[in-house]
Amino acid sequence: MFGRRDSTTPTSSHEGTGTTDGPGAGRYPAARTDEEWRATLSPQEYQVLRLAGTERAYTGEYTDNHEVGVYSCRACGTELFRSEQKFDSHCGWPSFYSALAGDRVEEIEDRSFGSVRTEVRCAACGSHMGHVFAGEGYGTPTDLRYCINSISMRFEPAAPGA
């Protein structure tokens, strides 16, 4: 049901995202109206999560986080990444070599800004998380780098002794 989808539409339009009143309506299980997203998210969160914006490098709250726990979608709460798959890529954003489960994220070809790359969205609500890059030589088990905006996630530390 979820997974990779190819699109030649620039993601800056965020067509097909998790709204119930526009393109892609009903496509995501946790879809909301644009009005509901605006009421739920801060203006900065809305810009990144719903309009496929990007926070500035090295400014996110989780870039240098090394605590054990789970990273969830800030918009809908779906668990997406675990700290065990996080690594220091020194790119300015939190980096992971794998998503929590393949069906938790959706990968979409992104042809915005004159290049081809792969956008990562939350498969439950369609919110923009960041991008995934392959073949960069980081020496991770998957040779992937999920470059994710901190503002797109919430971190839940593991319970003590877990």
Domain residue limits, the chain:
11-157
The two tokens of residue 99 are 């998503």
Neighbours of 22 (CB within 10 A): 14
Distance of CA 4 to the CA centre of its chain: 14
Question: How much is the pLDDT for 116?
Answer: 81
Span 69-85, mean pLDDT? 96
Average pLDDT in the 98-125 region? Answer: 88
Lowest mean pLDDT among 19-23, 88-92, 145-149, 157-161: 19-23
- Whether residue 11 is predicted with pLDDT greater than 60 in this model: the reply is no
Which backbone phi and psi does 34 adopt, to 5 degrees? Answer: -60, -40
Please tell me the distance from the alpha carbon of residue 53 to that of residue 14, in angstroms, as a whole number.
10
Counted residue by residue, the chain has a size of: 162
With 80 as the cut, is the pLDDT of residue 59 above it? yes
Per-residue confidence band for 3, with pLDDT thresholds at 50, 70 and 90: very low
The answer to which of 33-37, 107-111, 122-126 has the lowest mean pLDDT is 107-111
CATH number of 11-157: 2.170.150.20
Mean pLDDT on 5-31: 51
Determine which one of 73, 76, 125, 147 is catalytic.
147
Confidence of residue 162 (pLDDT cuts 50, 70, 90): low
Q: What pLDDT, on a 0 to 100 scale, did the predictor assign at position 110?
A: 82
Q: How much of the chain exceeds pLDDT 70, in percent?
A: 83
Q: Could you identify the residue written with the tokens 């979608």?
A: 73
Please check the confidence at residue 23 and state whether its pLDDT lies above 50: no
150 pLDDT more than 80: yes
Q: Known catalytic residue: 91? A: no
DSSP category for residue 19: B
Q: What is the pLDDT of residue 8?
A: 31
